[in-house]
Amino acid sequence: MKIPQVVNVNTDSVLAFDGENVINNTDQLPLYSGHSISSVAVDVALFDLITGSHSDTVSTTMTYQSDVDMWTVDLTDFTTFIDRHKYVGRVVATDASNMRVFKINEFSIDNDAFEDTWMNLPYQIEIGEGYAYIRWYDSEANFGDLDYCKFQAFAYEGGSGVTPATDVSRITHRGAIATYSGGAG
């Protein structure tokens, strides 16, 4: 699978589509250059590739940006994007523009939510009999209370990724950071 375009709804303001792909259904000319249309009422139907289900269909307006030959749709019209999910879709005109239906290629949503969360949480290294973890808690006051643990990662020594660290000074790397769901340690 190709690497999808990445959209961050916290910083990006639009989805953009190449002007040459937005064409008139009858004569196949680009909608703006062949017909001088600068806005089109559309329904954008998205499909969530992660859940394998249709997302909401959004009724919005697509606007032509002549200086770059692109059509844009305002991201604030979309409320169903889920962080770390991938989407594809179709754009269908709902007005008299005679625009041909076109596909939206795969794109993903990455709002940096996971990184922002765990990078800002306090953490501590916890080593016990046969286990070693780096654990992130909701506050420093709750260190060691697993009811308040948010994330954890294995802590290893020896560079192999199989030997749990036996001392804080011996940690060579950590495993994947995962949401803490109870148990372990």
Cβ–Cβ under 8 Å, residues 122 and 139: yes
At residue 67, the pLDDT reads 94
Cβ–Cβ under 8 Å, residues 185 and 128: yes
Helix or strand run (H / E) with residue 45: strand 39-48
Residues of the chain short of pLDDT 70, as ranges, are 1-4, 183-185
Q: CATH fold of 5-111, please?
A: Immunoglobulin-like (2.60.40)
- Token readout for 88 is 């594809």
At residue 183, the pLDDT reads 60
Cβ–Cβ under 8 Å, residues 40 and 31: yes
At residue 45, the pLDDT reads 96
CA 69, 112, 80, 9 torsion-angle sign = negative
Q: Where are the domains of the chain?
A: 5-111, 114-179
- Token readout for 132 is 């070693």
At residue 69, the pLDDT reads 94
Report CA-CA distances (Å) from 173 to 30, 97, 130, 153.
54, 58, 16, 10
* Residues 132-151: tens digit of each pLDDT: 999 999 889 999 899 999 88
| Residue 119 CB partners (closer than 8 Å, separation 6+) | none
At residue 2, the pLDDT reads 52
At residue 11, the pLDDT reads 84
